[in-house]
Amino acid sequence: MLPRVLEPEVMDSPEEALAYDTMDHTEVNRLFVDDLLQAARRFDVSLDGIILDVGTGTAQIPVELCSRSPDYRVLGIDLAAAMLDLGQARVDAAGLRDQIQLQQHDAKSLPFDDGQFACVMSNSIVHHIPEPAVVLKQMWRVLRPGGLVFVRDLMRPGDEATLDRLVETYAGDAEPLQQAMFRASLHAALTVPEVRQMVARLGCPAETVQATSDRHWTWAARKEN
């Protein structure tokens, strides 16, 4: 198994933010929202309250979600101001300012009350965090009883050959900076057993974490109490 190699926690330069935003995440984001809504139905969770998006980046997933229904309300948080600037422009362009709010906060220390949110979702933030268990604990803390946690992130491959194949498959046509960012993210990602250990410490069943593609794991669970 490849060792975990940390990457910078915050992509806050305009160049990095733009490189991320211009990568084609359309299908990945659409699938994330499809799976989120399917999980809400499976666990019989209502999304009638505020949905917290941790590590919202340029707000692509909140825009995808809120474009599907005027009933959804999302608070997206990120530590990177450059990402949020692009995200706000995206929200405004989509005409979704009434449904989506963006704020700058640190996911390691969320400034919210326990049990405040109907749903906590996150896509591809966990691998940026040196101590990811802290962020998962914060997400679980601010989720209300009966709420849904839905977290998806990259999965660290077992060897360099697999990593090379993933970069070629999913970023082969990308710019050099985008390829380097994807490679670094795979190196910094967690494995399913590592994430299962972390959620088990929160009192959540380990099997709620599953490999959901050749490069992603997903934690989907209803908070019972």
Rounded CA gap, 155 and 122, in Å? 14
**CB-based contacts of 134, cutoff 8 Å, min separation 6:** 108
Are the CB atoms for 110 and 138 separated by under 8 Å?
Answer: yes
pTM listed for this prediction: 0.93
> Closest Cα partner for 195 from 180, 181, 205?
205
Domains of the chain by range and CATH?
Answer: 14-157+190-222 (3.40.50.150)
Pairing of strands 117-123, 50-54: parallel
- Amino acid in position 92: D
What's the CA gap between 185 and 4, in Å, rounded? 10
Note the pLDDT of residue 21.
56
Calpha distance 216→136 (Å, rounded)? 16
Q: What DSSP element (H or E) covers 217?
A: strand 216-222
Do residues 220 and 149 make contact, with C-beta atoms less than 8 angstroms apart? Answer: yes
Q: What is the DSSP string of 53-99?
A: EET-TTTHHHHHHHTT-TT-EEEEEES-HHHHHHHHHHHHHHT-TTT
pLDDT per position in the chain (225 positions), as tens? Answer: 899 999 876 666 666 656 665 666 688 899 999 999 999 999 999 999 999 999 999 999 999 999 999 999 999 999 999 899 999 999 999 999 999 999 999 999 999 999 999 999 999 999 999 999 999 999 999 999 999 999 999 999 999 999 999 999 999 998 888 899 899 999 999 999 999 999 999 999 999 999 999 999 999 999 997
